[in-house]
Amino acid sequence: MSPEPFSFRVTATEGAARRGTLNTPHGTVQTPAFMPVGTRGAVKGITHRDLEDAGAEIILGNTYHLHLRPGDDLIARAGGLHAFIGWRRPILTDSGGYQVFSLAARRKVTEDGVAFRSHLDGALCALSPEKATDIQAQLGSDIAMVLDELIGAEPPGTLDAPRAAMERSARWAKRARMRLEQLRNDPGSAPDVIVTNPGQAQFGIIQGGTDQALRTESVQQTVEIGFEAYAIGGLSVGEPVEIMYDVVAHTAPLLPSDRPRYLMGTGMPDDLVECIARGVDIFDCVLPTRNARNGQLLTSHGVLVIKNAQYAEDMGPPDPDCGCYTCRTFSRAYLRHLFMAGEMTAATLLTVHNLCFYLDLMRRIRDAIGFGSFGKLRQEFHQTFSRR
């Protein structure tokens, strides 16, 4: 069985910016798209219903967390991640690699894969390109990611570690693709794996740190393997933002123009605007949800720290330019009170706003690209939004 429900069509462009339509087994995603992060099967602080109302067309699930708890075997028996968590729209799962490299203890990387201890109970676990593919096949996400080897930001001029990680990632990508094709074409050969979404697509990941020549090589090696689409990985790991923009500007045009381009783990609202201008179609980041829980609102004017004393008697809306439930209904003073009192509703209301702000920004950008006014939107955005 080899259904092909995955397709992508660019419907408008302005400079390098693209507007498009991505079809998956669980529905359509308009791009540029932002994916809220649903780490353990829930986007923290918000219900699926509010997420749908905010306009989220796709969410990201974390393979590492779901594999450890409740386990992908259980989720597969429940019919897959969509059925288990009650989310009917598209889902992308990461490979689990990022969490293994950032959370797990006593990690040992070999050519075969990564051995590590669970951050929950210390249990010995292993993740390989094949295993990451199997877990995601059981989760049944609409888009699966290949396992890659991650390293942090390197000092300029350091090339040995990024080259080794890039080359190993390419070898791992090939193994992940072979495994997916085996599951597609000969599921009987893997009786332990329950494929819950036969139309699942798989994205390759471009590595190479901040070196443009390495990025070019990584694109060649990864595109040669042949994936449904490609992601730019290994950025937003501490490098200066201008360098990140330069790597994106270099890498995005090298990728096939008829496939969506996903920039992993970025970022601030202004990063999204700038990377869309450089040809990126899909984003994810924990920033809007994590910052909400820490009392930070991302608004059209920048970051608003709700606990600041200046908001104690501020009866104005959190963001006067936002039409979300939180901004329509509540004052800065009330939200500050809830946050200072430790009410969990504070996290929920701030999360509703932050995600609405991100998703509304994406919607306005899509419209602007369609009308040929993205350049104007980009300029106006930077005039009002400030990081300070």
Site of interaction with Zn ion (CB under 5 A): 319, 322, 324, 326-327, 353
Work out how close the CB of 18 gets to Zn ion at its nearest, in angstroms, rounded to a whole number: 27
Q: Of the listed 148, 284, 319, 360, which one is catalytic?
A: 284
Q: State the minimum distance, in angstroms, from the CB of residue 297 to Zn ion.
A: 8
CB of 54 or CB of 144, closer to Zn ion: 54
The answer to whether 111 touches 158, Cβ cutoff 8 Å, is: no
287 token code pair:
């920033």
Catalytic residue among 50, 94, 134, 142: 94
Query: Locate tokens 């936002």: which residue?
Result: 322
Q: How far apart are CA 49 and CA 53, in angstroms?
A: 6
Collapsing DSSP to helix, strand or coil, 128 comes out as coil
Find out whether 249 and 278 touch, Cβ atoms under 8 Å.
Answer: yes
Residue type, 208: G
| Local structure of 364: helix, strand or coil | helix
Using the minimum distance from each CB to Zn ion, give the nearer residue, 64 or 381: 381
C-alpha span between 296 and 306 (Å, rounded): 6
List the end-to-end C-alpha distance of the chain, in Å, as a whole number: 53
CB of 174 to Zn ion, least distance (A): 45
Q: Specify the residue, 80 or 318, whose C-beta has the smaller distance to Zn ion.
A: 318
Give the nearer residue to Zn ion in terms of CB position, either 326 or 348.
326
Burial class (CB in 10 A: 0-12, 13-18, 19+), 247: buried
CB 315, min distance to Zn ion, A? 16
User: Up-side HSE of residue 186: CA atoms within 13 Å toward CB?
Assistant: 5
Work out how close the CB of 338 gets to Zn ion at its nearest, in angstroms, rounded to a whole number.
Answer: 15
232 or 324: CB nearest Zn ion: 324
Which residue, 272 or 324, has its beta carbon nearer to Zn ion? 324
Measured from the CB atom, the residue of 64 and 330 that comes closer to Zn ion is 330
State yes or no: is 284 an active-site residue: yes
Q: Are 194 and 183 in contact (CB under 8 A)?
A: no
Q: Residue type for 302, please? A: G
- C-beta closer to Zn ion: residue 50 or 228: 50
Sorted by sequence, the CB contacts under 8 Å of residue 105 that are 6+ apart come out as: 116, 117, 119, 122
Pairwise CA distance, residues 283 & 271, whole Å: 10
Instruction: Compute the least distance from the CB of residue 357 to Zn ion, in Å.
Output: 6
> Minimal distance in Å, beta carbon 56 to Zn ion?
15
Is 314 annotated as catalytic?
Answer: no
Cα 66 to Cα 136: distance, rounded to the nearest angstrom: 10
CB of 311 to Zn ion, least distance (A): 15
Instruction: Classify burial at 241, counting beta carbons within 10 Å of its beta carbon; exposed 0-12, middle 13-18, buried 19 or more.
Output: middle
DSSP code string of 295-349: TEEEETTEEEETTSGGGTT--S-S-TT--SHHHHH--HHHHHHHHHTT-HHHHHH
254 phi, psi to nearest 5 deg? -80, -20
Please give the positions annotated as active site.
94, 284
